[in-house]
């Protein structure tokens, strides 16, 4: 089981970039922290999500 933004998900073994795209995140507008470490955007496609990972995805939202 993987915890993403506080929710348990069954996505272990998947690629981080694939998950972000399928979940509807705009990868150019997010920061991803995996197990308390920031993942550089150019590594999203190389990171495989493992059981027990804790991932936080933070979106940047413009406004005024």
DSSP state of 16: H
Domain containing 37: what range?
Answer: 2-59
The average confidence (pLDDT) of the chain is: 95
Q: Is residue 64 part of a domain?
A: no
Task: Name the domain count of the chain.
Answer: 1
Per-residue pLDDT tens digits for 23-53 = 999 999 999 999 999 999 999 999 999 999 9
| Distance in angstroms (rounded) separating the CA atoms of residues 49 and 46 | 10
Q: What is the pLDDT of residue 63?
A: 72
Question: What share of the chain in percent tops pLDDT 70?
Answer: 98
Identify the helix (H) or strand (E) that includes residue 2: strand 2-4
The predicted pLDDT at position 60 comes to 83
Asked if residues 15 and 43 have their Cβ atoms less than 8 Å apart, the reply is no
For residues 11 and 2, what is the distance between their CA atoms, to the nearest angstrom?
7
State the CATH number of the domain containing residue 8: 3.10.20.30
Reply yes or no on whether the pLDDT at 64 is more than 90.
no
* Global confidence as pTM: 0.90
**CA 28/CA 51 separation, integer angstroms:** 26
């Amino acid at each position: 089981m993987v915890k993403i933004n506080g929710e348990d998900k069954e996505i272990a073994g998947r690629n981080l970039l694939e998950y972000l795209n399928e979940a509807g995140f705009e990868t150019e507008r997010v920061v991803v922290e995996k197990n308390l470490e920031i993942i550089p955007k150019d590594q999203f496609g190389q990171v495989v999500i493992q059981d027990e990972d804790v991932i936080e995805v933070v979106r940047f939202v413009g406004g005024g």
